[in-house]
Amino acid sequence: MSGLLQSLAGSLIVSCQAPDADPFRDAALMARFAQAAVHGGAAGIRANSAGDVTAVRRVVDVPVIGIQKRRQPDGKVLITPSFDDARDLTEAGAVIVAVECTTRAQRSGALELVRKIRAELGVPVMADIATLEEAIAAEQAGAELVASTMRGYTEETEHLRAFEPSFIAALVARLQIPVLAEGRVDTPQQAAEALRAGAHAVIVGTAITRPEVIARRFAAALEGNSRAAEATVIGIDLGGTKTKAGILTGRILESQSAVLTPTIGRDALLQHLIDIAARKIEEARQAGKPAKAIGIATAGWVDPVGGRIAYATDNLPEWTGTPLVRGIEDALRLPVAIENDVHSLAIAERHFGAGRGVDDFVCLTLGTGVGGGCYSGGRLVRGAHSLASAIGHIAIDRNGELCNCGLRGCLESYTSAAALVRYAQGEYASAEEVIRAVRAGAVTALQALREYAEYLAMGMASIVHLLDPEVFILAGGIAQDNDILLDNLNELLPRFVMAAKMRRLRVCASRLGYYGGVYGAGMVAREKLRQCHH
């Protein structure tokens, strides 16, 4: 057993199966698939039926995991539900027998079957499961491996539609036996994620051996991209003080509007968004361009997969943990996608603005607070917990000003609108007044902006040393139409940056203006539509 496990460690196992109606449903063809998979680097094969196992064993010399799918009286299929099936698979040459050990299968005697196979056939059993509890029960029954095969395919888990590395990690943390990742592993990147999560090996089937399904995915993706690219969507940008909204048709943002954001708790904020979205949906309908999806850009960090607010400061009370997608979808019956507001701005810049054709850039919003959104290598940086790009909370003075996040010395405390007013020594009541005075050439205002720019350049330098961007794109009230700030930053930033002359580094203003976040929210909505089509 140890030698067998060692031969599979860190490897790809290819599941060579085809249903009865598939053009490739033939044992000889399954053997050809297996042969091709081994030539491509597979270290093992998973095959369905004793006949397929026999055919595969004639042409490859790697371990074969045998299964036998049987339709039950209730019309549903179980994997290797009988001892006779297990015996036939073993005699055909399977060195591991996989047995479904879901809750439903356990009611049909799966755990007792595991014990009997081990006792009478002496072959290792791999338990195909969907939940952690099922895996624990299978291990206790004597299974020597466990696979996530049934995750998303049982009544308890059918709501899950994507591969979950976190589930593999949970299995690895709880079990003493090896865990194999199987089920909805559609890309090489997901296979690598499974190994990083602790999987002993990865089993891939449909994504490699089902040409009909693979072709369907490509066709659907092309059709979906075409439809989504032109779809009318609603974009909403929820900020700490203002909420902006618009209808995006093609590349044109129509019917923009902005209203004050309520700050009296979760329920009021959620209803606020529902009301705004409903108004825009009706406007789009009356214009003969019905909306297909809604995108929400919100202050705070979001979990775009789970559809909830991961974390928000007290600028939006009670917002942390809000199940935003579910709440709006239930109310308006349209697909909803969410994203952090500055991430949304970065997405908008990537599609419509100064980030087009640039793989490495950083967006900064300068206003009541300081937000960030980063692209690195052409990908939006989200981080392991969806909390990346908290640029306003880079520490520049460990004993400095107290930030509203609870930490001290954060960049935001030195580069917010309130900080700019503070540097002007009380001569102006707001950041807007300071900037107007800067344009008029007032000395105190110019000095205040210079001090502001020095702090901002310090924070930006940290980002440069970490991500090496090509462009900083500035947005928000302080950056809007403020060429003097840009001139200051382009002069100051190289002073704080190592090897500045080797970098093609520039600072520019966003060209998207006041509704940049709404453009980004609309693009997030279109991406949700693409996923729905897939």
- Cα separation, 514 vs 113, whole angstroms: 65
CB burial readout 230-264, b (16+ within 10 A) else e:
ebbbbbbbbbbeebbbbbbbeeebeeeebeebeee
Count other C-beta atoms under 10 Å from residue 225's C-beta: 14
Q: What is the domain extent for residue 139? A: 2-209
Asked whether residue 66 falls in the same domain as residue 178, the answer is yes
Mean residue pLDDT of the chain comes to 92
Give 48's DSSP letter: E
Asked whether residue 244 falls in the same domain as residue 119, the answer is no
Could you tell me if 113 and 81 are in contact, meaning their C-beta atoms sit under 8 angstroms apart? yes
The structural domain count of the chain equals 3
Among the candidates 285, 308, 343, a domain finishes at 343
Question: Is 245 a member of any domain?
Answer: yes
- Cα separation, 518 vs 253, whole angstroms: 8
Asked whether residue 27 falls in the same domain as residue 167, the answer is yes
Could you tell me if 428 and 437 are in contact, meaning their C-beta atoms sit under 8 angstroms apart? yes
pLDDT digit string (tens) for 70-116? 999 988 999 999 999 999 999 999 999 999 999 999 999 999 999 99
Pairing of strands 233-238, 69-71: unpaired
The pLDDT score that the predictor gives to residue 227 is: 66
- Cα separation, 17 vs 194, whole angstroms: 22
As a whole number of angstroms, the longest Cα–Cα distance in the chain is: 92
382 token code pair = 């989200």
- Cα separation, 346 vs 339, whole angstroms: 11
174 SS3 class: helix
- Cα separation, 451 vs 456, whole angstroms: 9
Q: pLDDT at residue 228 above 80?
A: no
Asked whether residue 150 falls in the same domain as residue 258, the answer is no
Q: pLDDT at residue 220 above 80?
A: no
The pTM of the full predicted model, rounded to 2 decimals, is 0.62
The CATH code of the domain that includes 26 is 3.20.20.70
pLDDT confidence of 226, banded at 50, 70, 90? low
Pairing of strands 69-71, 361-366: unpaired
User: 166: exposed, middle or buried (C-beta count within 10 Å: 0-12, 13-18, 19+)?
Assistant: exposed
524 token code pair = 């997030």
Query: Which residues partner with 340 through β-bridges?
Result: 298
